[in-house]
């Protein structure tokens, strides 16, 4: 299994390199001048030229790329032009907030999507199935920013059930950072008040972010269960006298979730991308919010570092997905 992980990690390196090449050159093709942004609005052309020279932005693009590669190899990501702090430090502080949000959304999507998809398959072509199909199209089609604002209007403004924005109430002291995940840190510190507050803040953004995921996972689970129900072994298990409910949840589902789990891996990438919008709307101090600011200020070092980071997380999640497949299906395990 270790060999499998190593092999997959090595295979991910070319993809990550490709990603690096693509983002590096794409950012430079965009008609935004990082030197001008760094110099500020009132800078003279001479000052801009000086900054350009100082940051090596006047050298040919391919030379800049080689320099950049060398820095990445040493895990140096430079300084953010906006926050004037090392990019690595900024990311380290903000990544846990994003991961807490995306993992919660993914968990929500899985815990709701798999049962919903299964129920739809069991009631194939009857009303629960039809209802779920309509909802899942809606779930994919609804724009996250619109849905987020609707949630804020209803549950934060009108009903006042959930806070409007942020990760924690301003009056409350944050628990000491251990993992960076507020929920975990509150539990570690034994601060139930902080835990409740953080959870309260998490609900609306996580629900918004999970919407598309619920729909996708439900759709793939439904298709998987429908396919499994046609199999001979289901007929055999029925002939053994298993009641149909036990049969579905105990024997059919495990055969049916392989495709849905592949989707969970792919979704993780989409969720991190979606976090950019959701974090901006809910004022969530994660890397999505940070990236938006970086794009607005042409802060290319942040953009590069964040893209690379998302690429690495995505590759890691997909290796994990393959391991989970092996856990489910013994025939795949032997190929690991």
Closest to another protein by CB, 165 vs 238, is 238
Q: Is 126 in the site for another protein (CB under 8 A)?
A: no
Question: x/- string (CB under 8 A) for another protein, residues 186-225?
Answer: ----------------------------------------
Q: Is 249 in the site for another protein (CB under 8 A)?
A: no
Single out the residue of 246, 249, 283, 296 in contact with another protein (rule: CB under 8 A).
246
CB of 242 to another protein, least distance (A): 6
* Cα–Cα dist 128/299, whole Å: 49
Single out the residue of 7, 233, 249, 335 in contact with another protein (rule: CB under 8 A).
233
Single out the residue of 83, 255, 262, 280 in contact with another protein (rule: CB under 8 A).
255
Question: Judged by CB under 8 A, which stretch of 26-34, 148-156, 212-220, 239-247 contacts another protein?
Answer: 239-247
* Cα–Cα dist 255/239, whole Å: 18
Single out the residue of 6, 137, 157, 235 in contact with another protein (rule: CB under 8 A).
235
Q: Is 165 in the site for another protein (CB under 8 A)?
A: no
* Cα–Cα dist 111/114, whole Å: 6
- DSSP class of residue 41 equals T
Question: Judged by CB under 8 A, which stretch of 17-25, 94-102, 151-159, 248-256 contacts another protein?
Answer: 248-256
- State the alpha helices, DSSP H only, in the chain: 2-29, 34-39, 45-54, 61-73, 87-122, 127-141, 144-151, 182-188, 192-229, 232-239, 244-246, 253-256, 258-282, 287-296, 300-328, 330-333
Cα Dmax for the chain: 85
Residue 118 neighbours by CB under 8 Å, 6+ apart? 221, 222, 225, 248, 249, 253, 256
Q: Is 232 in the site for another protein (CB under 8 A)?
A: yes
CB of 243 to another protein, least distance (A): 5
Other Cβ atoms closer than 10 A to 317:
17
Structure tokens at 130: 């039809």
Q: Is 329 in the site for another protein (CB under 8 A)?
A: yes
Residues that bind another protein (CB under 8 A): 231-233, 235-244, 246, 250-251, 254-255, 328-331
């Amino acid at each position: 299994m270790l060999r499998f992980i190593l092999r997959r990690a090595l295979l991910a390196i070319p993809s990550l390199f490709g990603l690096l090449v693509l983002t590096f050159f794409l950012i430079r093709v965009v008609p935004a001048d990082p030197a001008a942004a760094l110099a500020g609005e009132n800078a003279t052309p001479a000052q801009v030229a000086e900054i350009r020279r100082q940051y090596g932005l006047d050298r040919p693009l391919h030379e800049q790329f080689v320099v950049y590669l060398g820095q990445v190899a040493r895990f140096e990501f430079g300084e953010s032009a906006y926050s004037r702090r090392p990019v690595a430090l900024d990311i380290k502080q903000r990544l846990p907030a994003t991961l807490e949000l995306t993992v919660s959304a993914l968990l929500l999507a899985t815990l709701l999507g798999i049962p919903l998809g299964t129920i739809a398959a069991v009631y194939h072509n009857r009303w629960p199935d039809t209802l779920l199909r309509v909802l899942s199209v809606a779930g994919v089609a609804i724009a996250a920013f619109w849905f987020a604002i609707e949630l804020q209007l209803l549950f934060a403004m009108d009903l006042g059930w959930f806070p409007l924005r942020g990760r924690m109430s301003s009056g409350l002291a944050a628990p000491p950072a251990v993992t960076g995940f507020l929920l975990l840190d509150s539990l570690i510190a034994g601060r139930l008040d902080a835990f409740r507050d953080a959870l309260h803040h998490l609900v609306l953004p996580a629900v918004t972010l999970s919407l598309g995921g619920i729909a996708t996972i439900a759709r793939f689970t439904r298709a998987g269960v429908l396919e499994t129900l046609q199999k001979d072994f289901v007929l055999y298990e029925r002939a053994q006298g298993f009641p149909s409910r036990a049969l579905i949840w105990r024997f059919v589902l495990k055969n049916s979730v392989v495709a849905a789990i592949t989707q969970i891996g792919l979704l993780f990438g989409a969720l991190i991308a979606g976090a950019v919008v959701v974090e901006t709307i809910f004022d969530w101090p994660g890397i999505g919010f940070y990236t938006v600011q970086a794009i607005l200020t042409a802060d290319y070092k942040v953009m590069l570092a964040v893209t690379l980071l998302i690429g690495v997380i995505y590759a890691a999640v997909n290796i994990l997905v393959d391991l989970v497949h092996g856990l489910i299906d013994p025939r795949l395990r032997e190929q690991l």
